[in-house]
C-alpha cells in the first residue's frame, strides 16, 4: 500500500497548487488525477485573469503546471479514487484498479461533478450498485450485469467485466458507441432508475424497458464528494469548508470548484495553497 503524509484528489489548479505547497513544506504527497491534467484547463481557449499570465491558453497553462510538478519531483498517480475511508488516524483510499492507498491527511480538489444521481442509486450503493468494476466484478461472476459509462475511458472496465460476467448490458452515454460483440450487449437506452425487486436482483429501468441484473456498475469520470466520503457535509452539491479549507471531517480539506462558486482558476489555486498549509498545520499538531 502506497503511503503519504497528504493525499490529494484532483489535478486541476487547486490540486496542483496544494501538491506544490505541501511538497515545499517537506510533506510526502500522493496526487491522484489525469496525467494530462484537468480538461477544464486544457480545453480553455484563453485565460485572461491569471496574474502574470495574460491571455495564456489553457494548453499553455497546463504545460506550465506540469513543468512545475516535474521540477518539484511530484508525480501524478493516474487512478480514479472510488472510495475514501476515515480510519480515525488517517484515510484509506480505494482506487479503480482495486489498489489501496493511505495518507494521514486528505485534500479533495476534484472539481464539480455535474451528473445527478439515478433514482435508487444512493440507496442501493454497495448492495447491487457499484462504482468500481475491478473491485466488485468477482462478486457477480457468471451473472448478468449492467454498466453505465459517461466516457470511452471506461471501456476497458467493460471488457474486464465481460471476462467474469455472464452478460454485460452496456449503456454508453456518449457518441460513437462501440460494438464489442461477444457477451457485451450495447444499448442506446437512457437509464432512469434502479430498483430492487428481490434480495439478489437489481432492475435497471430505462426509457425503453428494463434489465434484471446482479449489479449496476456506474462508471463516471469523477465521483461526487458526498459519495466519495459519505460523512462529508455538503450543500447544493459542494463541500462545506471554512476559510482554512477545513471540512467537518478532521484531517480532510477541500479546495477549488468543489467548494463552490466562483469557478475560477485563480480562486482554485489560492484555495489549494490554503488547504495544503492547513493540512501541514494539522499534521504538525498531531505530532505534538
Does 175 lie in the same domain as 75?
no
Domain edge (last residue) among 167, 197, 219: 219
**What are the tens digits of pLDDT across the range 260-283?**
999 899 999 999 999 999 999 999
Tell me the average pLDDT of the chain.
92
pLDDT at 231 over 70: yes
Q: What's phi and psi for 130, nearest 5 deg?
A: -140, 150
The more confident residue out of 114 and 49 is 49
C-alpha cell at 75: 508525480
Question: What backbone torsions phi and psi does residue 209 show, to the nearest 5 degrees?
Answer: 170, -150
CATH (domain of 209) = 3.50.50.60
Domain range for residue 201? 121-219
Domain limit, last residue, from 201, 219, 237? 219
Residue 180 contacts residue 170 (beta carbons within 8 Å): yes
Claim to verify: residue 86 and residue 7 sit in the same structural domain:
yes
The domain tally of the chain equals: 2
Looking at residue 227, its pLDDT comes to: 82
All cell numbers assigned to 253: 480539506
pLDDT value at 44 more than 70: yes
Residue 149 and residue 28 in one domain:
no
pLDDT of residue 115: 62
Cα angle at 176 between 97 and 38, to 5 degrees? 50
Amino acid at each position: 500500500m502506497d503511503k503519504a503524509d497528504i493525499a490529494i484528489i484532483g489535478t486541476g489548479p487547486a490540486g496542483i497548487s496544494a501538491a506544490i505547497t505541501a511538497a515545499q513544506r517537506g510533506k510526502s504527497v500522493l496526487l491522484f488525477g489525469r496525467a494530462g491534467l484537468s480538461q477544464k484547463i486544457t480545453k480553455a481557449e484563453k485565460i485572461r485573469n491569471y496574474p502574470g499570465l495574460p491571455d495564456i491558453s489553457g494548453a499553455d497553462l497546463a504545460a506550465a503546471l506540469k513543468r512545475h510538478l516535474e521540477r518539484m519531483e511530484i508525480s501524478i498517480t493516474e487512478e480514479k479514487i472510488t472510495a475514501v475511508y476515515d480510519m480515525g488516524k488517517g484515510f484509506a483510499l480505494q482506487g479503480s484498479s482495486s489498489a489501496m492507498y493511505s495518507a494521514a491527511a486528505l485534500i479533495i480538489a476534484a472539481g464539480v461533478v455535474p451528473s445527478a444521481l439515478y433514482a435508487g442509486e444512493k440507496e442501493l450503493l454497495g448492495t447491487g450498485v457499484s462504482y468500481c468494476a475491478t473491485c466488485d466484478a468477482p462478486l457477480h461472476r457468471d451473472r448478468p450485469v449492467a454498466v453505465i459509462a459517461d466516457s470511452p475511458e471506461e471501456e476497458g472496465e467493460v471488457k474486464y467485466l465481460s471476462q467474469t460476467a455472464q452478460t454485460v448490458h452496456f449503456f454508453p452515454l456518449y457518441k460513437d458507441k462501440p460494438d464489442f460483440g461477444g457477451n457485451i450487449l450495447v444499448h442506446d437506452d437512457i437509464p432512469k432508475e434502479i430498483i430492487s425487486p428481490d434480495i439478489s436482483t437489481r432492475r435497471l429501468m430505462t426509457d425503453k424497458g428494463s434489465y434484471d441484473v446482479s449489479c449496476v456498475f456506474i462508471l463516471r469520470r469523477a465521483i461526487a464528494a458526498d459519495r466519495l466520503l459519505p460523512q462529508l457535509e455538503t450543500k447544493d452539491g459542494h463541500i462545506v469548508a471554512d476559510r482554512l479549507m477545513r471540512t467537518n471531517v478532521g484531517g480532510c480539506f477541500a479546495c477549488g470548484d468543489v467548494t463552490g462558486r466562483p469557478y475560477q482558476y485563480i480562486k482554485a489555486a489560492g484555495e489549494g495553497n490554503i488547504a495544503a498549509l492547513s493540512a501541514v498545520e494539522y499534521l504538525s499538531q498531531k505530532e505534538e
